[in-house]
Structures are given as C-alpha cells and as structure tokens.
Structure 1
C-alpha cells in the first residue's frame, strides 16, 4: 500500500510537470508563429509600397525624358520652354506627388519653373544634384536626399536628369520636386499600429521619407549603422533590432527597388506585435493554472484516501475474499480463450445463435468456417506442448488478420479447432476468406517435421446459410461446416472445402 502512495505522488507530479511543459512549449511555439506572421505581413506591405514608390519614380523618369526630348526640338528657347510647360500641365494629373519642375542651364540659373515666375538671380549651381550631373556624364536619373523648396520652404525629394547639347556637352539639368507631404498622405492610408513606421531610404542608407513624419529624421544617414549594414544587404528580408532613432525594438521588413536605388522599409514595434499573444498567453496560463490546482487538490485527496485505506486494511480482508469469489465467478463467465486471446466456445455459441436469428430476420447471408490444425497431435509430440501453444497463438493471429470486419468473430472452437463467423457473407465470399487464411498460415512458415507438408497448415470447412430455416439453423450450419472440414481432411488437408448452400427447410 505504501508503494501505491508513492506511485500516486509520482503520477501527480508527472502530470503537473507534463501539462506545464506542454503549455510552455505551446506558448513558445505560438509566440514564434505570431512573430513570423508579423514578419510576413510587414514584408508583403513593404513589397506593395515598393511598387508604389517605383511607380512614382518611373512616372518622374518618363516626364524627365519627355522634357529632355522637348528641349532638343525645333524652335527658339522660349518656344521649347513653353512646350515643356504644356507637357508638365498634361502630366501632373498622372503624378499627384509632383511639387514642381524646373529647367536649369549649364550655369545653374533657372530657365523655367512649372509653378510660376522665377525670382531674378535664382541659381542652384551649388546644389548636390546639379554638381553631380555637371561632373558625371550619365543619362540616369538621380534621386537626391530631401531639400527645402527655395520658394515654398517645404521639404521634398528631387529627381533630376542631365541635359546635353548637340555635342554631348553639359547643357544643364531638368529637376522634379516631389513633396514629402504627398508621400506622407499616401503612407497615411496604411493602417499601422501606434508604434509602426514606414520608411523610404536610398540604398546607401540616407533617409528620404519617414512616416509618421518627423522632421529631425529627414536626411538621416544610416550608412555607418551596424544594423543597416548587417540586415539590409539583400534584395528583401526581415530583421529585428532596436531603432537608433527612438530606441524601440521593432520588427523590420525591407524591399529594394529593382529599378531605382531606393529601399522601402516597414517596421512594427515588437511589443505591439506580441500584444495579442501576451493577452492570450496570460489567459492560457490562468486557465491551465486553475486546472492544475484542481488536479493537485483531487490528487492530494486521492493520496489521503489511499493512506486511509492502508489504515483500514484489516477491515477490508473480508471484502477482499468476497471480491476474489466474484472474480472466480467472472472467470467462469469470461468469454475469451486465455491461450489464444480469441473468443471461447461459450461466446461462439451465443454469437452464432444471434447471427442466425438476424440472418433469418433480415434475409441476409451468413457463413461459417471451421478450421483444424493439420497433424497437430504429431506437432505436440515432436515439439512439445509449449511450442504447440505458441503455434496456436500464431495461427490465431493469422485468422484475426483475415477476418477484420467489425462483425466477424474468430473463436477457439475446441482443442486445435478454430471457427470464424462471417455475417452478411455468401459462400463465394467465405471461400475467399478461407483462401486468405490458408495463405496467412502458410506465410507463418512454422516448421512441422511430422507433417507431409513440412510446415504447419490448416484444413478449412466452409458453409453458408442464405435462406430462412426452421429450427436450430446454427446447428445445421455447424454440421455442414464440419462435413466440409472432414472432406478437406479426407482430400489431403491444407485446403478449404465448401458445403453447398442450404435450401429452405
């Protein structure tokens, strides 16, 4: 009894530790899934915003190309500039972000501004984009860091292109200003959590646009940042690190443009991403904790009851004797053969009688197989009764594999005789099952030196009951199967012989 108490305590502890470990693992896996889902959502959003940014820069590039071609056309300079103005008026409906377009000559003086009159002496020769185009012979567009509009004072991104004369020499610059507020309005349509950010930077790490808007972030250079160098080297990806701007740990996703040297990033606060998970985790911990407390209380009560039972053992001796007598009665009534694990004769008789009544009531077929292990007495004499018992068990297992339907019954009929009841099975179907059993037994390949076949085989008698009978149809069915079994033995054994179906009595 003391051993029972120790076992109960061990099981109680094992259950509580197992449940706690399983809950912890599930919460950890759920956390990883939540972070992975957040990374996927961020990356999808970064891809979509990258397409948007590429579209804006592509429209700007096409407008710059159109302006460059127009300036090379016929006519004097005022006429060409007027055609440029007309082109800009047509295109600005397609490019909402357009803040203005300017044409600069080789000295940096403004020749035209799409939004109105140019103040005298306006010159941008000291601008970085102008210096780049003057010193670099390339027709590629240049996307420059944000600068203030010299007339409105608002921040904007410049997209510029080199102009050349007929000899390929530097003839000036055509530049488009894209207002940051237009980008911010577009980004503002995205539903982001409170700590979420959207950024547009150059591939070298210089900030172009940051949403939510922060003027102190304009033009920040992250090229020397270890996080930028470590995580943003590929075409796209995700990362998690602490922001150098506000110190918050975020989940980042980025996508580089295939056409322009810009990079779109989407970031979500790590705590924000895990907020729903934390709520669910606390709820789960509370529920599991309550259940564990209940289990502990019930388990402890069980242990107390076991200890009380130990103290009352003397008074339970009489009850134990009654229980033993009841167990002996149950053993007598048991329906299972102890050696083979099959149904015993009592169970066989009950099931066969029941199935015969049902077959008569429903008008369905019923088949019976009677089996006998060939030369089994010789087997016992040659190998001993222990080997004979093992042989019976192996054959019983083979029968179970052949009669697998829920209604089929495999029973030990007596000694080395076995029986298989096959409800709703006609004679051809029963023969198929018999052939399967023959094959299964042969496949066991149990040596039998005293048998002409050299190994253990069975003979099978097959009978079927397909019509209504008068009295005791089960006895007729058993007799028919027994006659068929006798014929199988008489014909050389290791075979199945069937009795023709009964006619109506």
Structure 2
C-alpha cells in the first residue's frame, strides 16, 4: 500500500507509536531497577515526555490531514462538472443549471433560450476535434452570468442563455454562421436548433427540452448549416399567474 495515501499514513503513525510504546515500557523497567539513581535519570524522563508529546501532536495533525484529503477526494469525484476535452458542462451539471435557470426565469419574469448544435461526420476523430473547437468558440463568445456551454446526453453541444429576448434569433443566426466558418475546412455537417420560452408558471427543463426537440426535428430535414428557431409567444395572463417555489 502506498504510504502517501491516508490509510498508509495512519499505518505508519501507528507503527511509530508502537515503537514509542515499547520504548516507554523499557524505560519503566529500567526505572524499576534503578530507583536509587532516579535523579540521574531525570533528563532522560523529560526527553521521553517531550518525545511522547511531539508524537501526539504529529498523530493529531496526521489524522486531520487524512480527513481533509478524503474530503477533497470525495469532492473531486462527486463534483466533476466539465468534460475534460471540450471544457463544456457535463449533462448532469448542465441539467441542474437548466433547472435553476427555469426557476430564476419565473421569479424574475425573463425569457430563457436553449440552443443545440448538431454535428455529423463519418470520421469519429474529425467529429471529436470539431466538437472541441466549437465548444471553445462558444465558450469564448458567451460571458454573461448564467450563460453556459454544455453537452447533451448524445454528446451534442448545447448553449443555455438565461434572460434573453426577441433578439435571440439574431444570435442563433450569428452562431451558426460563425460555426460554419470555423469548421468550413472539415467534412462535417452542422445544424442549429434553438428555442426561447417565456417565464410562465409551467416553465421547466422538460418543457424546454420538448420545444427544443421539435426544432431539432425540423432542422434535421433541412440542408447543412441551417438553423431552426422558435420563440414561445408571450401570454400576459400566464405570466401573471402565481408560482409557488
């Protein structure tokens, strides 16, 4: 077992304390046979007490460090949020962000936009490289709080844009044009589906995904470099309905 691991450190400390315990036992036996010369043994006893005190502090510090290391390891495992290749949010984290922004949109009465870029290529290596380049471009483009580039369950690039308005379609046009220029040298097809939903009481990730799927189905029958966008019409009565968190 690696002595650098928490369990390895604990084992080393326990072995050290066993050695000290044997040393203390030897000193006690020695004291028993040399009671007459106790004053001459006083420096050795003081040194022994100091050694035991030091080892107790080391053991306490080692236990504390082991606990911190275990917490950090657990955090790194459970909170892995981004894809190591694209830097985009993994589906689990992206889904949580979408749920949070749906709730925020209802509270703050602001529309929400979701986009999905679909890449198609017969060469898996080219497809993966294009996905990385596209994700990086989008990450550089969006910078507002809440904007998030992520991956869908199928590996497509998604873009979450809270607090959007009717200008979202123009953004979709720019995004597909920039993506086409970025990947023009590659044999890859790219299409964009996007939708903007109003902050109605029934706004939820499932509703957003349902609307997005409709746009994906529409754009998939169109030529490459096409986009399909739809904005949900505003309904004043629905927007004013009560929403309970």
TM-score by structure 1 length?
A: 0.32
Q: Secondary structure at the match of 1:411?
A: strand
CA distance in structure 2 between the aligned counterparts of 1:456 and 1:327, rounded to whole angstroms:
39
- Counterpart contact for 1:467–1:502, Cα < 8 Å: no
2:207 matched to 1:469?
Answer: no
> Whose strand fraction is larger, Structure 1's or Structure 2's?
1
Q: Which residue of 1 aligns with 2:109?
A: 363
**Superposition pairs of residues 317-328 of structure 1, within 5 angstroms:** 319=65, 323=69, 326-328=72-74
Q: What does residue 484 of structure 1 align with?
A: 215
1:379 and 2:123 aligned = yes
Conserved? CA contact 1:359–1:366, under 8 Å: yes
Answer whether contact 1:367 1:421 (CA < 8 A) is retained: yes
CA distance in 2, matches of 1:325, 1:404: 31
How many residues are matched? 179
SS in 1 for 2:151: strand
Q: Which has the higher contact order (CA 8 A, sep 6+)?
A: 2
What do residues 350-395 of structure 1 show as CA deviations (whole Å, max 9, x unaligned)? 221222112212221111112211x24x131xxx3xx443322101
The verdict on how the C-alpha distance between 1:317 and 1:457 changes in structure 2, with shifts beyond 3 A counting, is: farther
Q: Which has the larger radius of gyration?
A: 1
1:138-153 residue pairs with structure 2 within 5 A?
Answer: none
Unaligned stretches of 5+ in structure 2?
Answer: 1-57, 239-245
Query: Does the 8 Å CA contact 2:111/2:164 hold for their aligned counterparts?
Result: yes
What is the rounded CA distance, in whole Å, between the counterparts of 1:429 and 1:402 in structure 2?
A: 16
Match of 1:421, SS? strand
1:488 CA displacement:
0.7
SS in 2 for 1:487: helix
How far, CA to CA, are the matches of 2:104 and 2:229 in structure 1? 22
> Is this contact kept in 2: 1:352–1:474, CA < 8 A?
yes
Q: What is the 5 A alignment of 1:167-178?
A: none
- Structure 1 contact 369–430 (Cα < 8 Å) conserved: no
1:501 to 229, 232, 242: 232
Compared with structure 1, are the counterparts of its residues 404 and 379 closer, same or farther at alpha carbon in structure 2 (3 Å cutoff)?
farther
Is the Cα contact below 8 Å between 1:485 and 1:497 reproduced in 2?
A: yes
Which residue does 1:64 correspond to in 2?
none
Deviations 1:218-262 (A, max 9, x none): xxxxxxxxxxxxxxxxxxxxxxxxxxxxxxxxxxxxxxxxxxxxx
Q: TM-score, normalised by structure 2?
A: 0.62
List alignment gaps of at least 5 residues for structure 1: 1-311, 449-454
Closer, same or farther in 2 for the Cα pair 1:317/1:441, shift >3 Å? farther
* Pair 1:439-2:164 in alignment: no
The question of whether the paired residues in 2 share the 8 Å contact of 1:442 and 1:456 is answered with no
Q: 1:467/1:325 Cα in 2 relative to 1: closer, same or farther (>3 Å)? A: closer
Tell me which of 55, 64, 80 is aligned to 1:334.
Answer: 80
Q: What is the CA distance between 1:497 and its match in structure 2? A: 0.2
